[in-house]
Amino acid sequence: MISRRLPCTFAALVCAAGAALAQDAAAQRAAQLQAAVDAALSSKAFHIGTSTEGDLDGDGIADLAAVVVNLSGEGPREERLLVLAGTPGGGYTPLSVSGQFCRVEKFYNLDIARAYLWVQGVSSAEPSGMNSFTMQFRYNPKLRDFELIGKDDLAENYDTASSYRVSVNYLAKVAVHTRIAGKKRKDLKAPLQQPAVLRLRGFHCGDEGPMGPAIYINEDFTVRR
């Protein structure tokens, strides 16, 4: 009986040791990330809300993008979109940080794909529909910063199978308005007058506001200018 119990006891010890090491590694990584956030914002009040990892600056090392939130103060919460560059030693160094970000009512989704940073903010999500935006950033080595190259604003109504989308291409300086209702669809292009590159560093939500003629496709598919 003793010989049969020994292997099980040894296996349990190994599992417990492995779990403890994993917890230690996770705690060390969390502390490392928080230290990098503190360094980037010169404050210990911000904490990571939503994050994603991937190579954004092309050096082959995974970077981290995060929406960080300060809930310690009174009034509207503070938010920043922060990018930390990965280092060869496994640490992080601040790469870029926005000004006040968008304070969406629901949640954010972040993704890194093909060196692009995608930021989706959902302001409402109900059984009847959803309102959201998606920003696309890319790293510009000459600027040593990220630039906003595209944005989609989307309002969807599931009950009526309808939607309204405004897709902005800041590189081509054009906005495309699209209204869909059932099988009916109308697209309308409008030029932008973009004054400058929209950088992530210091960026405030609203900086990417209308930069061209005001147009809108009405629900009856007529165009209001």
- Block residue for tokens 């506001």: 209
One DSSP character per residue, 168-222 reads EETTTTEEEEEEEETTEEEEEEEE----S--BSTT--TTTT---S---EE-TTS-
Name the token pair of 165: 């989308």
Tell me which residue of 162, 101, 102 sits closest to 130, measured CA to CA: 162
> Residue 89: its pLDDT value, please?
85
Question: What span, in angstroms and rounded, lies between the C-alpha atoms of 82 and 8?
Answer: 47
The DSSP result for 54-97, as a single string, is E--SSSSS-EEEEEEEE-SSSSSPEEEEEEEEE-TTS-EEEEEE
Say what the pLDDT of residue 17 is: 57
- Pairing type for strands 162-169 and 223-224 reads unpaired
Question: Would you say how long the chain is, in residues?
Answer: 225
How many Cβ atoms are within 10 Å of 96's Cβ, its own excluded? Answer: 24
> Residue 45: what pLDDT?
87
* Whole-number pLDDT of residue 18: 57
Nearest to 134 by CA among 147, 150, 123: 150
Predicted TM-score (pTM) of this structure: 0.85
3-class secondary-structure state, position 49: strand
Q: What is the pLDDT of residue 6?
A: 43
Domain spans of the chain, in order of start: 2-224
Average pLDDT by stretches of 10, the chain with 225 residues: 52 58 71 86 88 95 95 81 93 94 95 96 97 97 95 96 96 94 96 83 87 85 94
Predicted pLDDT of residue 212: 67
Task: Tell me which amino acid residue 86 is.
Answer: G
